[in-house]
Amino acid sequence: MLDAFPEGVIVDPGFQFFLLAISGAIAFLAGYFIPKMIQPAIAIAVSEKAGDTYSKIVDPYRSLIGIVIALGITDISWLIIPSPNDLWFEIVEIPLSLTLAIAATWLASRLFSNFFDVYLLDAALRKGRKTNSELLILGKYIANAAFIFVAIVIFAQAHQINILGILASLGIGGLAVAFAAQKTLEQLLGGIVLYVDRPFSVDDYIGLPDGTFGRIESIGLRSTKIRSSGKGTLIIVPNSSLTQVTIENFTGAKKVMAILYLNLHQVIPSEERALIRQTIVNSTDDIFGIDSRNTDVAFRDRKNGGENITQVQITFFILGSGDVSMDLRRQLLDLATQSITQQLRGYGIEFDIEESTIYVDSPITI
């Protein structure tokens, strides 16, 4: 641990209290003012664009940044100011340090999530390759797991906890448990694989190679319960078996229709209509989970306030999957819509978006 005073030096409790009070005041002021000063400082010292980037990604979590700064200064103060009572020191400092680790990990996770939504999705879309939403979600999970792992290691090192020894002991004990409960662990690992891979979710209708067809009632750590269609019986299948067979998810075949209306400022001739249609269709070719083959672009002439205009109705089809993946695909579709807007205006085609994108569920009939 940090030690700013020579060993054996006894600090008067009153003076110690005074130092802690000063450090607490500094922590409060720093946590309040520093987050407000960072964005203008970056804009002046680096560039206006860097300041805008900071305002989009970091500034929404200004309060959390202030809390982390205040906790960090307070924790450092407890480490460098000697305490006459080691028990009192441990009672206060360890929970304080643990709170700091949790807050810093949560902040890192939120910042990465915001960066992911604002920039990484857009970068993935602009690469011109198929954008797999499942891999993007997996990358998000891995990043969050890395933040947690780093926080645990730093906390352990700061408090002289031999984490490697603990892991080694757990490893030896884990081998003994693994041999004793091999089947149970296999089923538990199967449950983890199903949770990460998400081939189905509760209330999905699935079919298995042995002829089993029914609705998922629950997904447990060891087994999955399927309500059989027709008989109505409850089938309990070990998770380890489900990870080794082909699963046909009928509910996953549903589509969500995303409908967008563009009001062009004038009647558009057929040549420009072909350009608009091609631009719209090409915008979703590289998004995995968007059925670009069924993207429909319909034109119709209408009157708007006495003027003749052309209205474009765009219908996208988002292929069904897990709720998280569906939300991510909607975000990708929103980015594609922004790309369409920029391209059409780059061609000199002026229009207004009549309203926000409308999402309509179109489930498959079973």
Q: pLDDT tens digits for 7-45?
A: 545 556 677 777 778 888 888 888 888 888 887 888 787
Q: What is the mean pLDDT of residues 66-83?
A: 82
For the chain, percent of residues with pLDDT exceeding 90: 0
Q: Tell me the CA distances in angstroms from 366 to 168, 218, 230, 252, one per residue in order.
A: 51, 20, 12, 11
For the chain, percent of residues with pLDDT exceeding 70: 74
* Of the candidates 230, 229, 233, the residue with the CA atom closest to the CA atom of residue 250: 229
45-82 residues labelled b (16+ CB within 10 A) or e (exposed): eeeeeebebbeebbbebeebbbbbbbbbbbbbbbbebb
pLDDT of residue 280: 84
Give the C-alpha separation, 289 to 118, whole Å: 20
pLDDT at 181 over 50: yes
> Which is more confidently placed, 172 or 64?
64
Mean pLDDT of the chain: 77
* pLDDT band, residue 2 (cuts 50/70/90): very low
108-138 residues labelled b (16+ CB within 10 A) or e (exposed): bbebbebbbbeeebeebbeeeeebebbebbe
Alpha helices, DSSP H only, in the chain? Answer: 13-45, 48-57, 62-80, 86-115, 121-126, 133-158, 163-180, 182-197, 239-242, 270-283, 323-346
Neighbours of 39 (CB within 10 A): 18
Question: What is the Cα 96 distance to its own chain's centre?
Answer: 28
pLDDT of residue 1: 44
Q: pLDDT tens digits for 320-338?
A: 655 556 666 677 777 778 7
Q: pLDDT tens digits for 259-312?
A: 888 888 888 888 888 888 888 888 777 666 677 777 888 888 888 777 888 888
Tell me the sheet residues that pair with 352.
Answer: 263
pLDDT of residue 323: 58
User: What is the SS3 assignment for 223?
Assistant: strand
Neighbours of 287 (CB within 10 A): 22
pLDDT at 180 over 60: no
Tell me, yes or no, if the pTM score tops 0.75. no
Q: pLDDT tens digits for 209-220?
A: 888 888 888 888
* pLDDT band, residue 353 (cuts 50/70/90): confident
Between helices 163-180 and 133-158, what is the axis angle to 10°?
120
- DSSP per-residue codes, 309-347: EEEEEEEEEEEP--HHHHHHHHHHHHHHHHHHHHHHHHT
Q: What is the mean pLDDT of residues 70-96?
A: 75
* pLDDT band, residue 87 (cuts 50/70/90): low
pLDDT at 150 over 70: yes
Q: pLDDT tens digits for 115-126?
A: 877 777 666 655
pLDDT of residue 305: 72
Residues 6 or more apart whose CB falls under 8 angstroms from that of 275 comprise: 347
